[in-house]
Amino acid sequence: MINVSQPSLGAEELKAVQEVFASNWIGKGARVDAFEAAFAEHIGVPRENVATLNTCTEALFLSMQLLGIGPGDDVVLPTLSFVAQANAIAAHGARPVFCDVDPRTQNPTLEDVKAAITPATKAVMVLHFGGHPGEVAQIAEFCRSRNLFLIEDSANSVASRVDGQACGTFGDIGAWSFDYAKMVVAVDGGMIYARDPELIERARKIAFFGLEQESNSSQAERHANRWWDIEVGSFGRRTIMNDVHAAVGHVQLGKLPSFVAHRKQITERYNALLADVPGVVTPPPLPPGHENSYYFYWVQLPEGVRDQVAKELYARGIYTTYRYTPLHKVKAYDSDASLPKAEQAAECTLNLPIHQALTESDVDTVVTALRAAMRRIHVH
């Protein structure tokens, strides 16, 4: 089976994990510190503005808590988003207000965001679909002018930038994912960025039971006695990263430039080979100054064709999918929004395989199968 996504893990990651095991400390420690420092450098922010967590979802949930978003507040977000975004909002008693998206990029435009603003709006949340930055700079400027918080779910955009600035750093809070399907894999894990470093200090405490200090051997070195005493400053939980995951993530982060370069080559090959296939529309080009992570590669097909094509490709050993289900149609969120552009995109878009292990031969196989499927469906 040619997978739509998969991790690229090898000897370097195993060696890093072995070193953690040999240290006899597998909890949160020096490896977490090193990973945080390296990631801060990667996105171009001070070390004190980031913190690791156990998942990106936790970063989104924490963002609600840190920004004081709760009952009576509205948060605008694109309907083509991952369920974790809407869950974070609703779980804190706020209301997810879904906005439409550009049907080609599947990112919200500034006008889409403006159309969803209500008198109760306290924040806007965006996702950089497939690694395309979208109009994040314009949306950030708008949010600042309206005193609205901006939260960036950068799970798709670990290497995406606009005019040199990393996606995830345009707003008040950014969140990244390092799960098994992401470009930088830490087995599982997340990172949170906050423009205000005091929010990160709060995040660290909430993520470790609300303790004002950690109780471990490093604390013993700093205290003459009774280093085991605790002080609880908030009612937190345990959502920290450990050194095993951080060690893997740190190695993967070092490989990220080569991962992005390979994915770019795959994208360019798909674009060239699919350019003359009737009925197949490839992703839109990037605006000047935008850098892509190439997390997704998607095509858009004529109405009523996508599902049949996906089944035919699967029968030939090619796994495809669609991300993301329009959330305004999910009953749990009780939305009556009509978002025609997103609904159109969700019915015609198909994510094709793209990952670091994908070969040119694999791409050729996918394209050949897609061409054949489109011919059988008689798309002209």
DSSP string, 78-126: ESBS-HHHHHHHHHTT-EEEEE---TTT-SPPHHHHHHH--TTEEEEEE
Predicted confidence (pLDDT) at residue 308 exceeds the cutoff of 80: yes
Reading the block at residue 241, the tokens are: 């990263």
pLDDT of the residue at 229: 85
Say if residues 292 and 353 touch (Cβ distance below 8 Å): no
Q: What is the pLDDT of residue 380?
A: 58
Averaged over 39-54, what is the pLDDT?
98
* Nearest C-alpha neighbor of 82 from the set 321, 370, 368: 321
Are 153 and 129 a contacting pair, CB within 8 Å?
A: no
Q: Does residue 379 or residue 83 have the better pLDDT?
A: 83
Each residue's pLDDT tens digit, 48-84: 999 999 999 999 999 999 999 999 999 999 999 999 9
Closest CA to 1 of 368, 352, 319: 319
For position 118, what pLDDT does the model report? 98
Kindly give the pairing relationship between strand 290-291 and strand 297-300. Answer: unpaired
The predicted structure's pLDDT at residue 224: 59
289 φψ region: left (φ > 0), alpha (ψ -120 to 50), beta (else) = left
List of long-range contacts for 210-214, beta carbons under 8 Å, 24+ apart: 210/234, 210/235, 210/236, 211/236, 214/28
pLDDT surpasses 90 at 8: yes
**In Å, how far are 68, 172, 192, 238 from 63, measured between CA atoms?**
8, 9, 9, 16
Question: Which carries the bigger pLDDT value, residue 231 or residue 35?
Answer: 35
* In contact, 306 and 348? CB cutoff 8 Å: yes
Amino acid 226: pLDDT: 79
pLDDT > 90 fraction of the chain, expressed in percent and rounded: 93
Task: Give every CB contact of residue 347 below 8 A, 6+ residues apart in sequence.
Answer: 303, 306
Mean pLDDT of 236-246: 97
Partner residues linked to 152 by β-bridges: 126, 174
CA distance 208 to 229: 15
146, 170 contact by CB (below 8 A): no
Q: 220 or 45: whose pLDDT is higher?
A: 45
Tokens of 317: 């050993």
The confidence score (pLDDT) of residue 227 equals 78
Cα–Cα distance measured from residue 199 to residue 176, given in angstroms and rounded to the nearest whole number = 16
**Whole-number pLDDT of residue 214:** 65
Domain with CATH 3.40.640.10 in the chain: 11-253
For 187-221, what is each residue's pLDDT tens digit? 999 999 999 999 999 999 999 999 987 655 555 55
Give residue-wise pLDDT tens across range 19-31: 999 999 999 999 9
C-alpha to C-alpha distance for 38 and 47, rounded to whole angstroms: 8
CATH 3.90.1150.10 boundaries in the chain: 257-376
pLDDT value at position 234?
87
Mean pLDDT over each residue of the chain, to the nearest integer: 95
Grouping H, G, I as helix, E, B as strand and the rest as coil, residue 240 is coil
For residues 164-173, average pLDDT: 98
For the chain, the first-to-last Cα distance in angstroms comes to 29
pLDDT tier, 230 (very low <50, low <70, confident <90, very high otherwise): confident
Supply the CATH classification number for the domain 11-253: 3.40.640.10
Per-residue confidence (pLDDT) for residue 128, from 0 to 100: 98
pLDDT in tens, 109-129: 999 999 999 999 999 999 999
Tell which CATH architecture fits domain 257-376. Answer: Alpha-Beta Complex (3.90)
